Structure 1
Amino acid sequence: MVLAQLGGSISRAIQQMSNATIIDEKVLNECLNEITRALLQSDVQFKLVRDMQTNIKKIVNLDDLAAGHNKRKIIQQAIFNELCKMLDPGKPAFTPKKGKTSVVMFVGLQGSGKTTTCTKYAYYHQKKGWKPALVCADTFRAGAFDQLKQNATKAKIPFYGSYMESDPVKIAVEGVERFKKENCDLIIVDTSGRHKQEAALFEEMRQVSEATKPDLVIFVMDSSIGQAAFDQAQAFKQSVAVGAVIVTKMDGHAKGGGALSAVAATKSPVIFIGTGEHMDEFEVFDVKPFVSRLLGMGDWSGFMDKIHEVVPMDQQPELLQKLSEGNFTLRIMYEQFQNILKMGPIGQVFSMLPGFSAELMPKGREKESQAKIKRYMTMMDSMTNEELDSSNPKLMNESRMMRIARGSGRHIREVMEMMEEYKRLAKIWSKMKGLKIPKKGEMSALSRNMNAQHMSKVLPPQMLKQIGGMGGLQNLMKQMGSTKDMMGMFGGGGDK
C-alpha cells in the first residue's frame, strides 16, 4: 500500500495518544506534532499542515468537552476529517458510462508514466465490462508506439497508431473514428510528454484536444515531484480542461502525500493512483477509504467489493454452507487460495482490513507469500480427489506425502509445511462452526450479536482491539447488515 511510512507514523501517533491515561493539552500537542512531522516529511505544503493543526485544535477544545465524552474518538475523527479535507478537491470527476462512447485523453510531463497508465486504465475498465481501445498519438518519442503496442497486446486491448505518420492530430482523429465505428465505449488517446515551458508542444496538445473533443482529459503526474505538482497541474489546467488527475509511482518514495495534497489544491480530482509497474498495481483513489486505510482503520466497502468481484454470487451460498458445517478440506483451501490470487496484490487487500497497517506487510514479504501460495497449489495439483476432499488429516501418511512431493517436484519438508498450514486454517475454520446464517432478508439483532461473539473468538486480538472491541464489532455487523454483505464477508472469511 502506498505511503506505508506516512500511514505508520500517523497511526502510531494516534496509538500513543490512545494509550495515554489522561488526555490533556500536552498529549494532544505531542500527537499533532508527530502527525505534522510525518506530513512534512511527505512533502506536504507547510501552509496546509499548519492550517490542519489549527483546525484540529479549534475542533478539539479539551476544556469544553463534557466529562463523559470519548476524547480519543473525537480527536481521531477530527484528524480523519482534516486529512480528508486536505485531499478532497471538492468536486467529482467525469465518469464514463457503459455503452456510450467516451473519449479520454491523457496528458502529462515526459516520463511520468502516461503510456503505462493508459493501459492500466484500459485494463481496469475492461475487467469491469467496458470495451476499451488505445490510440497512440505520441509521435515525439521514439518507441512510444512500440511500448503501447506491447502493453495493449499483453492486456488484449485493441490499439491504433502509426510508424510513418508524424502528425499526432491526424493519428488521433483517425484512431478515434475507427474505434467509434467498432463500437468501443472507452477510447483512450495517449499524447506526447510535454513540459510547461514548451509552448509548441502545448499548442499541439490543444490541437489534439480540439480535434478529438475528449469527454475527459486526464493529467498523469509522477508523485516524486511532491509539492511542485501544484504548478504543473495549474499550467496544464490553463491550456486544456483537465478533468481528473492520476498520480503515479506512489511506491517509489516518501513524497506521495505532497503530490496528492498539491493536486487537491488545484481543485482537480485524483481518480486513480499507480502503486507499481504491473498491470494490477493501480488503485481507485477515493478520499475517505484512502484516509481510513492510511490511519489503519481499514476500508470495509472496498474489501467487500473485492470479494464480490472474486467470489461469484452463485458460489457464495455453498461456501457459506461449508463454513457453517465447519468441515475444512484441502479442496476448500485450494479454492480460497485461488480467490486470494485473483484479488490482486495481497498487501493491497490486507490494508483494507482494520488493524492491518501496510507496514505489517513488507514489500518483499508480499511477493514471498504469493509465491508460497502458488507453491502450495502446485503440490495440491498432485493430490487425488480422495485426499483433497477428506477432512481427516491422519489420512496423509508418509508414503502419500512422498508421492505428492515427487509428483510436484518439491521437497517432502514443503509438503509437511503445507499440511501444517492446512491444520492451522482448519482450526480457524472450525471456530466458524455454528455461525447463524439467515436465509433471506435482514439479520435479526439477536443473530447479529451471536455472530459478533463468534467472530470475536476467531479474529486475532490485535485486530479486534483496532475495530474497537466487542462494541465496534457489533457496529460493524450492523453496517454490513444485509445478508449479501455478510455472505461476502464470510465468503472471503476463509481467506485469512
Structure 2
Amino acid sequence: MVLQDLGRRINAAVNDLTRSSNLDEKAFDGMIKEICTALLEADVNVKLVGNLRKSIKASVNFKDLEPSVNKKRLIQKSVFDELVKLVDPHAEPFKPKKGKPNVIMFVGLQGAGKTTTCTKLARHYQSRGFKACLVCADTFRAGAFDQLKQNATKAKIPYYGSLTQTDPAVVAKEGVDKFKKERFEIIIVDTSGRHRQEDALFQEMKDIQDAVKPDQTIMVLDSSIGQQAEAQSKAFKEAADFGAIIITKTDGSASGGGAISAVAATRTPIVFIGTGEHMLDLERFAPQQFVNKLLGMGDMQGLVEHVQSLKLDQKDTMKHIAEGVFTIRDLRDQLSNIMKMGPLSKMAGMIPGMSGMMQGMDDEEGSLKLKRMIYICDSMTTKELDCDGKLFIEQPTRMTRIARGSGTSVREVEDILTQHKMMAGMAKKMGGNMKNMQRAQSAMGGANKQQQMAAMQKRLASMGGAGGAGGGGMPDLSSMMKMFGGGGGGGGMPGGMDMQAMMQQMGGMMGGGGMPGGSGGAGRGRR
C-alpha cells in the first residue's frame, strides 16, 4: 500500500524513542533524522522535509521543559501535529449545493486515472442523493469516450459524449448545457490528460474552462508521480487554478510522497483518495484521519462511512444486540458482510492496531479463512444457527459432523464457537448499555440537544471496550485476530461491524461519524 512503509518507519522511530530509558536531546535528534530520511525516500519534497525538521525541533525544546512535563507525550503530539500540517493546506474544499447545477471539471496528466475517478465521484454524490452525470470532453485519447460510457453504464450514471465532434470545448459545452436543462445537480466533465510542456493542450484546457465555467476544477494526481509532482501541479495551478486534488492508485506499492508535496506546493486541499479499481474505492480525505492511518492509529470514521455506503442489512442482528442476544446466525451474517466490504488490507488501515497485525498476511489468505468460517456455519442446521452455543457443549458430536460437512477440522469449528461465545458476551453487555442510554435520553426530555449529545457521548465512552481500540468498538481485537492468523496475523472484525451498525442505527447521534472524537484517534494515539 502506498505510504504504508513510510507510516511504519515513522511509527517505529517515535516508538523507539518513547520506549527508550534515556530520553534526551541526542535520542530526539536521532528520531527526527530517521523520520526525515523516511520522508525523503518516500519522495516528499526536500524543502518540506527541512521545514518539518525545524518545526518538530522548535516544538520540543529540552532546555525549557519543566521536569513535570511528559516528554514522551509531547514528542508524539509534536510529530503528529507537524505531519497533519504537512497535508493540511488550511483551505476549505468546494461543497456542492443541492437544487442547483454544480459543474466539476477534471484535469491532470495522462494515465492518472481521471476517467475512472470521474465515475467514482459521480457515484459518490449519487449515493448521497445528488442527481449526477458525466460529460466526456476527452476527444484526444482513442477509446476515452468508450471507457467513460462503459463505466457510467455499469454505475447507472447518465453520460454525454461525441464520436464525431473533435473540439473538446464544444463537446463539454453541449454536454453541460444539456444536463443543466435536465436539472442535474452534479455535472462532471472529464478532459484529456496533458503535460505541462504541451502548450497547445494547456490552451485547450483553458478553452474548456471558459466554455463550461466550472464551479470547481479538480486535479487528479497519480500517487506514484514522485519528484515531478510539485512542478506539474504548479503548472496546472497557474493554468487552470484547480481548487482540489484527488490522489489515485494508493493501493499500489510506490512511494507516494510526491502527492503530499503537491498539496503543500499549491496550498490546495486533497478531497478524496482512490484506494482501488472498484467504484466504491474512493475515500474522503481528512488530514487528521490520514495521519491516523499513516501511523497505524486507524480511521474509525472512515470505516463507519464505508459500512454505511454499502447499505448492509443488519436489522435482525441489531435487534438481537439490543436484546443482549447474539446467535451463530448473527455471526455468520457478519462474516458475509465483511466479505462485501472489500480487501482486508483496506479495512485493516481503518482499524486501530490492525494494520500491524495484518503484516505478512495477504488478502487472499484472509479471504480464504473467512470463507472456511462461512462454510462451517453453512453446514449447521437451523436449530444450531439459532442457538446460543450451549447445544454444542451438550452434544459435542455435532462439531464432528459439521467439520466433515464443511471440509474443515473440529479445531476450526471450536474456534468459531469460542469466537461466538466471546461476541455473545459483548452483545449482552452492549444490549444493557443501549437500554441505559435510552433511559438516560428519555429522562433528559426537557434538555436541549447539545446536552443530550454530551451525555450520550459520556455514556458511549464508558461502554465496554470503547477506549481500548481507539474508541471504535473493537474490544479484545487481538482475540478476534486469532481466528484468522493463529494469534497475530489476521484480519477479522466481526465485533467491529456490529458496533458500526449499532452506531448507524442510533439515528446519526454522532452526525454520521464515528465514536466521540472518532476522527481524532489522534488524541488517543498520542498517549
- In structure 1, runs of 5+ residues without a counterpart are 464-479, 491-496
Q: How does 1:479-494 map to 2 (within 5 A)?
A: 484=509
Partner deviation per Cα, 1:323-343 (whole Å, 9 max, x = no partner):
xx3x43121112322443454
Q: Is the 8 A contact 1:216 1:243 kept in 2?
A: yes
Instruction: Determine the structure 1 residue equivalent to 2:94.
Output: 94
Paired letter, 2:319: E
Q: Is the 8 A contact 1:227 1:262 kept in 2?
A: no
Q: Distance in 1 between matches of 2:57 and 2:191?
A: 46
User: Shift of residue 287 of structure 1?
Assistant: 0.9
The one of 338, 345, 348 equivalent to 1:347 is 345
Percent of aligned positions that are identical: 44
Q: Distance in 1 between matches of 2:360 and 2:161?
A: 37
Matched, 1:184 2:191: no
Q: Would the alpha carbon gap of residues 311 and 206 (structure 1) be closer, same or farther in structure 2, given more than 3 Å must change?
A: same
The one of 326, 331, 334 equivalent to 2:332 is 334
Matched, 1:387 2:384: yes
Instruction: Determine the structure 2 residue equivalent to 1:413.
Output: 408
Partner deviation per Cα, 1:236-283 (whole Å, 9 max, x = no partner):
111222111112122323431232123322112111122222222222
Q: Is the 8 A contact 2:460 2:466 kept in 1?
A: no
Q: How does 1:272-421 map to 2 (within 5 A)?
A: 272-309=272-309, 310=311, 318-322=319-323, 325=324, 327-356=325-354, 358-362=355-359, 365-374=362-371, 376-377=373-374, 380-381=377-378, 383-392=380-389, 394-395=391-392, 411-413=406-408, 417=412, 420-421=415-416
Please give the secondary structure, in 2, of the residue aligned with 1:128: coil
Structure 1 stretch displaced more, 310-319 or 248-257: 310-319
User: Shift of residue 418 of structure 1?
Assistant: 5.2
Instruction: Determine the structure 2 residue equivalent to 1:129.
Output: 129
Instruction: Determine the structure 1 residue equivalent to 2:163.
Output: 163
Q: Distance in 2 between matches of 1:35 and 1:361?
A: 23
User: Shift of residue 303 of structure 1?
Assistant: 3.5
Please give the secondary structure, in 2, of the residue aligned with 1:99: coil
Q: Distance in 2 between matches of 1:278 and 1:127?
A: 15
The one of 439, 446, 459 equivalent to 2:476 is 459
Please give the secondary structure, in 1, of the residue aligned with 2:105: strand
Q: Is the 8 A contact 2:91 2:267 kept in 1?
A: yes
Q: Would the alpha carbon gap of residues 415 and 233 (structure 1) be closer, same or farther in structure 2, given more than 3 Å must change?
A: farther
Q: Distance in 1 between matches of 2:317 and 2:374?
A: 21
The one of 414, 419, 427 equivalent to 1:424 is 419
Q: Distance in 2 between matches of 1:359 and 1:403?
A: 33
Partner deviation per Cα, 1:1-36 (whole Å, 9 max, x = no partner):
541101111111111112112311122112111111
Q: Distance in 2 between matches of 1:149 and 1:447?
A: 46
Q: Is the 8 A contact 1:228 1:259 kept in 2?
A: no
Q: Distance in 2 between matches of 1:187 and 1:444?
A: 39
Q: Is the 8 A contact 1:307 1:489 kept in 2?
A: no
Please give the secondary structure, in 1, of the residue aligned with 2:98: coil
Instruction: Determine the structure 2 residue equivalent to 1:476.
Output: none
Q: Is the 8 A contact 1:316 1:488 kept in 2?
A: no
User: Shift of residue 384 of structure 1?
Assistant: 4.2
Q: Is the 8 A contact 2:465 2:476 kept in 1?
A: no
User: Shift of residue 378 of structure 1?
Assistant: 5.8
Q: Distance in 2 between matches of 1:424 and 1:380?
A: 13
User: Shift of residue 433 of structure 1?
Assistant: 3.2
Q: Distance in 2 between matches of 1:303 and 1:350?
A: 10
Q: How does 1:109-258 map to 2 (within 5 A)?
A: 109-258=109-258
Q: How many residues align?
A: 465
Q: Distance in 2 between matches of 1:77 and 1:257?
A: 21
Q: Is the 8 A contact 1:383 1:404 kept in 2?
A: no
Please give the secondary structure, in 1, of the residue aligned with 2:34: helix
- In structure 2, runs of 5+ residues without a counterpart are 442-451, 481-502, 516-527
Q: Distance in 2 between matches of 1:387 and 1:242?
A: 59
User: Shift of residue 444 of structure 1?
Assistant: 9.0
Instruction: Determine the structure 2 residue equivalent to 1:475.
Output: none
TM-score (norm 1): 0.83
Q: Distance in 1 between matches of 2:84 and 2:191?
A: 32
Q: Distance in 2 between matches of 1:34 and 1:191?
A: 41
Please give the secondary structure, in 2, of the residue aligned with 1:273: strand
Q: Is the 8 A contact 1:246 1:271 kept in 2?
A: yes
Q: Is the 8 A contact 1:230 1:265 kept in 2?
A: yes
Q: Is the 8 A contact 1:137 1:190 kept in 2?
A: yes
Paired letter, 1:412: G
Structure 1 stretch displaced more, 95-104 or 382-391: 382-391
Q: Is the 8 A contact 1:304 1:485 kept in 2?
A: no
Instruction: Determine the structure 1 residue equivalent to 2:520.
Output: none
Instruction: Determine the structure 2 residue equivalent to 1:468.
Output: none
Please give the secondary structure, in 1, of the residue aligned with 2:243: strand
Matched, 1:32 2:6: no
